[in-house]
Amino acid sequence: MILIQKPRDVIGGLVVIAIGAGFFLSGQELDMGTSFRMGPGYFPTILSILMIGLGAVIAVQALRTPDTEYSFGQVPWRGLLLLISAVAFFGFVVRGLGLAPTVLIAILTTAWASRYATVRTSLPLSIGIAAFCAVLFIRLLGIPLPLTGPWLSVDYSSSAPSALALTATPPTPSQ
């Protein structure tokens, strides 16, 4: 008889497998295409296969490793708040700040959600992911996002009316 050390993770892995299998089966109605001319079913099928594989890895790992986690009562509030705030930050400021700086800050924020992350490892990771996202989304896929947004431009900061312009007398209309 197999003693399951982490039943919660086994169930979670099986749920991920079931979701992946459901999307895989529903995506079979769509045309697959090829890797160079992807059809509407190509990407969902690949993601479904990855989900099934990930769920299998989660379930198998849960069967193999001993339970060293806390019970259901422990909630990592710091990590939860940092992850939610990073996603919200990205959504609110990506147009104004630009893709690269927003991804850089969001990745740093999510890295600090882990108690094992250090600045030495988080900074190169965030720079690398920001560069990858910039090349992939802006250059290769042509998504209309600015690399650095208008909030970082000199024109944006100098567009505020100056005190001198506010005190100057307006010209008189000629007759």
pLDDT digits (tens, 9 = 90+) for 93-137: 999 999 999 999 999 999 988 888 888 899 999 999 999 999 998
Radius of gyration of the chain (CA): 25
> What is residue 129's predicted lDDT score, i.e. its pLDDT?
93
Map residue 126 onto helix, strand or coil.
Answer: helix
Last residue of a domain, one of 22, 41, 64: 64
Q: Locate 14 and state its tokens.
A: 């099986």
> What is residue 140's predicted lDDT score, i.e. its pLDDT?
87
For tokens 């986690």, the residue is 69
Do 82 and 125 fall within a single domain? yes
Taking residues 86-93, report their average pLDDT.
Answer: 92
> What is residue 154's predicted lDDT score, i.e. its pLDDT?
77
Q: What is the extent of the structural domain holding 51?
A: 7-64
Q: Locate 111 and state its tokens.
A: 């890295």
Residue 172 belongs to some domain of the structure: no
Residue 19 belongs to some domain of the structure: yes
Q: Percent helix, strand and coil across the chain, each rounded to 5?
A: 65, 0, 35
Distances in Å between the Cα of 31 and the Cα atoms of 36, 47, 121, 166 are 14, 15, 42, 63
How far is 30 from 100, CA to CA, in rounded Å? 34
Residue 46 belongs to some domain of the structure: yes
How far is 106 from 101, CA to CA, in rounded Å? 9
Does residue 24 contact residue 56 with C-beta atoms inside 8 Å?
no
Look at 121 and 172; give whichever has higher pLDDT.
121
Do 102 and 140 fall within a single domain? yes
Do 109 and 139 fall within a single domain? yes
The lowest-confidence range among 11-20, 61-70, 81-90, 133-142 is 61-70
- Backbone dihedral angles phi then psi of residue 98, each to the nearest 5 degrees: 100, 160
Q: How much is the pTM?
A: 0.54
How far is 134 from 100, CA to CA, in rounded Å? 6
The lowest-confidence range among 51-55, 76-80, 160-164 is 160-164
Q: pLDDT-based confidence at 67, cuts 50/70/90?
A: low
DSSP 137-157: IIIIS-----SS-GGGSHHHH
Residue 100 belongs to some domain of the structure: yes
Residue 1 belongs to some domain of the structure: no
Do 34 and 98 fall within a single domain? no
The residues facing 38 across adjacent strands are: 33
User: Considering its fold, how many domains does the chain have in total?
Assistant: 2
